[in-house]
């Protein structure tokens, strides 16, 4: 196998893999695109309206499209055939806009060719465009600073050779209060060169998976608020040759939320409560900000300073009432989990599943099992 070395080699390898090697999602050698939870019914309905040519070329590893985004300006990093952009267009409506950026000509052609068909399904012309470019160079591709409310990405950032440039560019592109809501692949350890430079592993996303602790530190250094985990699931490596290369390293599909707010402290003192108003369609009874913060409609809940800043100053602010309290310890129980805590919890769950079912989520598991 050839081994991509510098950024140009990696870009070229990924272009070939997704433009020429893969013909559909059935060709993938890991479970990353099949082992995730089912999307919300509203998302499923929107997916059903996406043209077949677009859906068949979908290679995502999660469901990183938030509800409640009507009228928002959205950017999709590594939009591929455009499936998530099409879904997002249905959610933002005629007042919102969606931009997809990708570097693979074959994928972009599929995305652009189907807009007319989708228009008929929606009943209006969506503000939907697809631009050619690298996600490390958003401004060069025409994405101006402070023009985006919500940025999404579905199993793409792991394919990028310079992830720090991606996160820095997204931070610039987002308006204050904006969010990067995305699914990607992560590892429980730093990857050796043999994995990071193998062209098939790079194409599958495994070769570019970030160590979770490095990811969390990097994004906070850039200026994002503390990363929030919304969903996490193990990835099974099905190909025996690839299993031998990855060894004991474990991989996960994680949906993270990164907010650009005025408050970036991981404060351990509280002093705030938040109440969900129940006004997001599809989340009328409760809203899950992350796995540590679930809000029931109309019920006041103590939150950390960091969570209070997100709910009061991000694009979610219209859906919550946030109040300051005299109790300085009121939010201590609402701090988000650390990467280490998440990994330990998931390993225990995997051990339980393995004992009960013979190792469904172990390397080489049947596709879609997890």
Counting DSSP H helices and E strands in the chain, the numbers are 13, 13
Give the whole-number percent of the chain exceeding pLDDT 90. 55
Query: What pLDDT score does 357 carry?
Result: 43
- 6 compared with 184, residue with greater pLDDT: 184
**Dihedral in degrees, nearest 10, Cα atoms 76, 80, 83, 85:** 20
> Are 117 and 128 within 8 A, CB to CB?
no
List domains and CATH numbers for the chain.
Answer: 7-263+338-357 (3.40.50.150), 272-334 (3.40.5.100)
Q: What is the pLDDT of residues 249-279, one digit of tens each?
A: 989 988 999 999 976 444 445 589 999 999 9
- Residues forming beta bridges with residue 101, ordered by sequence position: 77, 131
Query: What pLDDT score does 111 carry?
Result: 96
Query: What pLDDT score does 360 carry?
Result: 31
Alpha-carbon separation of residue 370 from 35, 39, 95, 252, 353 (angstroms): 5, 15, 38, 11, 10
Confidence class for position 325, pLDDT limits 50, 70, 90: confident
Confidence class for position 58, pLDDT limits 50, 70, 90: confident
Query: What pLDDT score does 34 carry?
Result: 42
Contacts with 109 (C-beta within 8 Å, 6 or more apart), sequence order = none
Asked which of 171-175, 255-259, 298-302, 366-370 is least confident by mean pLDDT, the reply is: 366-370
> Are 236 and 165 within 8 A, CB to CB?
no
Q: Is 84 helix (H, G, I), strand (E, B) or coil?
A: helix
Taking residues 20-30, what's their average pLDDT? 48
Give the whole-number percent of the chain exceeding pLDDT 70. 78
Question: Which residue has 């608020």 as its token pair?
Answer: 225
**Which of 80-84, 330-334, 342-346, 363-367 tops mean pLDDT?**
80-84
- 240 compared with 221, residue with greater pLDDT: 221
Confidence class for position 329, pLDDT limits 50, 70, 90: low
Confidence class for position 88, pLDDT limits 50, 70, 90: very high
- Residues forming beta bridges with residue 206, ordered by sequence position: none
Answer yes or no: is pLDDT of 10 > 60. Answer: no
- 26 compared with 170, residue with greater pLDDT: 170
- State the Cα–Cα distance between residues 350 and 356, nearest whole angstrom: 10
Answer yes or no: is pLDDT of 247 > 50. Answer: yes
Q: What are phi and psi of 249, to 5 degrees?
A: -65, 135
- State the Cα–Cα distance between residues 130 and 93, nearest whole angstrom: 17
- 198 compared with 181, residue with greater pLDDT: 181
Query: What pLDDT score does 57 carry?
Result: 86
- State the Cα–Cα distance between residues 311 and 319, nearest whole angstrom: 8
């Amino acid at each position: 196998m050839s081994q991509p070395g510098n950024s140009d080699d990696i870009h070229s390898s990924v272009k070939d893999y997704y433009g020429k090697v893969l013909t559909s999602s059935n060709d993938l050698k890991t479970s990353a695109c099949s082992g995730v939870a089912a999307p919300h019914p509203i998302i499923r309905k929107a997916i059903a309206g996406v043209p077949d040519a677009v859906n068949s070329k979908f290679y995502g590893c999660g469901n990183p499209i938030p509800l409640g985004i009507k009228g928002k300006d959205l950017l999709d990093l590594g939009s591929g055939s455009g499936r998530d952009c099409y879904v997002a267009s249905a959610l933002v409506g005629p007042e919102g806009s969606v931009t997809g950026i990708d570097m693979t000509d074959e994928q972009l052609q599929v995305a652009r060719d189907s807009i007319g068909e989708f228009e008929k399904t929606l009943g209006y012309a969506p503000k939907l465009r697809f631009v050619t470019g690298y996600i490390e160079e958003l401004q060069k591709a025409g994405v101006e600073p402070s023009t985006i409310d919500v940025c999404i990405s579905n199993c793409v950032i792991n394919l990028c050779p310079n992830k720090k440039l991606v996160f820095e560019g997204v931070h610039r592109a987002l308006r204050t209060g904006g969010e990067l809501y995305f699914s990607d692949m992560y590892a429980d350890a730093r990857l050796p060169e043999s994995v990071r430079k193998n062209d098939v592993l790079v194409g599958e996303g495994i070769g570019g998976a970030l160590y979770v602790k490095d990811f969390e530190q990097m994004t906070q250094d850039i200026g994002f608020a503390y990363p929030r985990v919304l969903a996490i699931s193990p990835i099974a490596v099905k190909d025996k040759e690839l299993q031998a290369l990855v060894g004991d390293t474990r991989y996960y599909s994680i949906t993270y939320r990164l907010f650009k707010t005025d408050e970036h402290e991981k404060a351990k003192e509280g002093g705030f409560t938040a109440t969900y108003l129940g006004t997001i369609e599809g989340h009328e009874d409760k809203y899950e900000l992350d796995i540590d913060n679930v809000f029931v409609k109309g019920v006041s809940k103590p939150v950390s300073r960091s969570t209070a800043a997100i709910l009061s100053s991000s694009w979610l602010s219209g859906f919550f009432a946030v109040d300051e309290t005299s109790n300085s310890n009121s939010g201590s129980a609402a701090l988000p989990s650390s990467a280490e805590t998440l990994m330990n919890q998931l390993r225990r769950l995997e051990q339980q599943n393995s004992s009960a079912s013979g190792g469904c989520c172990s390397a080489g598991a049947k596709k879609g099992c997890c």
